[in-house]
Amino acid sequence: MMAPGPLRRLIRRSIPGSAEPISTFEAGGRIPWSSGYGEYKEAMLKRVFGDAALMQTFRTGGALPSGYGHRLDERIVEYPWVLSHLSPGDGLILDAGSTLNKAFLLDHPLLNDRRVLIYTLETDRIALNPRISYLFGDLRDMLLRDASVASIVCISTLEHVGFTYEYRTYSRHNPWPSAEPESFLRALAEFRRVLVPGGELLLTVPFGRAEDHGWLQQFDAAGIRRIKQGFGGTVAAEACYRYHPEAWQVAAPEECADLAYFNVHEGNGFDPDHAAAARAVVCLKLIR
């Protein structure tokens, strides 16, 4: 099923010079991670960023348009939520996990005149830009001074802390010997340490029933409470979004309590709902 007419037109207009009536992703049956998937998602996100009313909806936690993000992964709600809650200013932004490391994100008006430090184990892109810096290392033991960062953006990264980041070498019969799933709390302590007083942590994680996939964990309600307690700051904003077969939509946490993470790397084909990854995410803005 394709997105409703108005949303399809919204998406197409965001692809400059496109002569095709529909995208490759649509033409191929809207299969997650198929040909044209990334381009389609990026085009939609660009359009969303430019829609002031929709970004305000993310900021206030209102209902999303019918068909929003049909068969797309959780970035389609995480990026707009985070950018709609990022405070303006000129302080250093720490990108914990390299999820902002894309040209269309770094060129966003909220980011294009800010210094951004990308702290990660690895990345597939190096931006040759004097305002973008890279540090390769462990988020549980960062090489940064106390109170040196104004904002931290950590999008779907905390769930990987303490697990192998190379899922292709992972086996349920031979798990990574040094896995430390509880060590996400050390990363949270580091986030608090490097933030200035009053600094903000914008954090998103997959949500539903507690699960261990070997290369990531999914947090349940108790896990979300531990995240808040582990950081120890003030909750300035919180939202939960749920994937449905036809769209992403804002949801109450209890509606998501039994949702499972779809692990495409298991190679068993897609489930009937065609979830691309997480079926729910929690988004938090925490203040030091």
For residue 282, give the CATH number of its domain: 3.40.50.150
Q: Is residue 88 part of a domain?
A: yes
Q: If you count them, how many residues does the chain have?
A: 288
Q: At 28, is the secondary structure helix, strand, or coil? A: coil
Q: Is residue 204 part of a domain?
A: yes
Q: For residues 204 and 154, give the distance between their C-alpha atoms in angstroms, rounded to a whole number.
A: 7
Q: Is residue 17 part of a domain?
A: no
Residue 157: which of 137, 132, 139, 182 has the closest Cα? 139
* Residue whose entry in the numeric block shows the structure tokens 């300035």: 236
The number of domains in the chain is 1
Q: Is residue 47 part of a domain?
A: no
Q: At 70, is the secondary structure helix, strand, or coil? A: coil
> Which domain range does residue 127 map to?
66-287
Q: Is residue 231 part of a domain?
A: yes
pLDDT under 70 in the chain at which residues?
1-21, 164-178
Q: For residues 288 and 249, give the distance between their C-alpha atoms in angstroms, rounded to a whole number.
A: 29
3-state helix, strand, coil in the chain (%, to 5): 30, 20, 45
pLDDT of residue 179: 76
Q: Is residue 226 part of a domain?
A: yes
Parallel/antiparallel/unpaired status of strands 116-120 and 93-96: parallel
Burial 209-242, CB ≥16 within 10 A → b, else e: eebebbbbbbbbbebbebbbebbebeeebebbbb
pLDDT of residue 11: 42
Residue 163: which of 173, 153, 174, 177 has the closest Cα? 177
Q: Is residue 276 part of a domain?
A: yes
Helices (H) and strands (E) in the chain, counts: 8, 10
pLDDT of residue 177: 52
**Contact present, 163 and 216 (Cβ < 8 Å):** yes
Q: Is residue 198 part of a domain?
A: yes
pLDDT of residue 165: 52
pLDDT of residue 124: 86
Using the 8-state DSSP alphabet, how is residue 276 labeled? -
pLDDT of residue 267: 87
**Contact present, 150 and 202 (Cβ < 8 Å):** no
Q: For residues 184 and 127, give the distance between their C-alpha atoms in angstroms, rounded to a whole number.
A: 28
